Chain A
Amino acid sequence: KNQVEQSPQSLIILEGKNCTLQCNYTVSPFSNLRWYKQDTGRGPVSLTIMTFSENTKSNGRYTATLDADTKQSSLHITASQLSDSASYICVVANAGNNRKLIWGLGTSLAVNP
């Protein structure tokens, strides 16, 4: 079954600290993996998109890693800011016939002053 699991479900950190969010997937065949940031009540905003040949991709203070062998990805946030408070969603694109995006449930991050 195609699934995307994220951990932790929620996380609270202090402003300025770093954190790492995890994503494990069982989607096959794999096309790409995306990380989205979604503020409450707003549309998702793309942070990174990675194909199987990419191990690391950065977007400012966000760095995503992908291990296609173990089917794991992580999103590292450096020097967190209050505006980083949001839900971070891992999404895997299925390259098979159904051509679907498989969404994780997200990690809810709260950055406190």
Chain B
Amino acid sequence: DTEVTQTPKHLVMGMTNKKSLKCEQHMGHRAMYWYKQKAKKPPELMFVYSYEKLSINESVPSRFSPECPNSSLLNLHLHALQPEDSALYLCASSQLGLQNTEAFFGQGTRLTVV
């Protein structure tokens, strides 16, 4: 199984809502990532978890809150988002550090903030 599963596929939320994005992998990878991708732009790294601990936060606003409940799951909690946060949110996982090993991406969650 080389799949990274993200749910939901699409999400529309108001600026006062609280929602969560979920990501799951069963490849035994110990590194998991959240990326944000705007249209016609490359993905931008948001957070990196290594061995279930947050290792990199790319100065992401606190309205985005990541959580890694166990080695297979990664969540991104959303609260008080802005319309400019609308984007494709991608989860990825890899065996070791992303710079050394292959990364597997999920199909993404298309988020629209209204």
Contacts from A to B (Cβ < 8 Å): 31-32, 34, 41-46, 49, 89, 93-95, 99-101, 103-106
Min Cβ gap B56→A in Å is 8
B42 interface residue per 8 A CB criterion: yes
Tell me whether B99 and A93 are in contact (CB under 8 A). yes
Q: Given A41-B88, A44-B43, A89-B42, does the pair A101, B99 have CB atoms closer than 8 Å?
A: yes
Q: Identify the interface centre among A41, A44, A99, A104: most chain B CB within 10 Å of its CB.
A: A44
* Contact call A43/B99, Cβ cutoff below 8 A: no
User: In the complex, what residues of A have CB within 8 A of residue B108's CB?
Assistant: 41-43
* B102: chain A residues within 8 A (beta carbon): 34, 46, 49
CA distance A32 to B100 in the complex (A): 7
In the complex, A42 Cα to B89 Cα: how many Å? 10
Q: A93-B100, A99-B99, A101-B98 are in contact. Are A43 and B42 (CB under 8 A)?
A: no
Instruction: Name B's A-contacting residues (CB within 8 A).
Output: 4, 6, 40-43, 45, 88, 90, 92, 97-100, 102-108, 110
| Chain A CB within 10 A, most for which of B43, B104, B106 | B43
Chain B neighbourhood of A93, CB < 8 A: 98-100
- Which of B42, B88, B99, B107 is in CB contact (< 8 Å) with A105? B42
Find out whether the CB atom of B97 lies under 8 angstroms from the CB atom of A99: yes
A91 to B106, CA, bound (A): 17
Q: Are A100 and B45 in contact (CB under 8 A)?
A: yes
A46-B104 in contact (CB<8A)? yes
B45 contact from A32, A42, A101, A104, Cβ within 8 A? A101
- Asked whether, in the complex, the Cβ of A104 is within 8 Å of the Cβ of B98, the reply is no
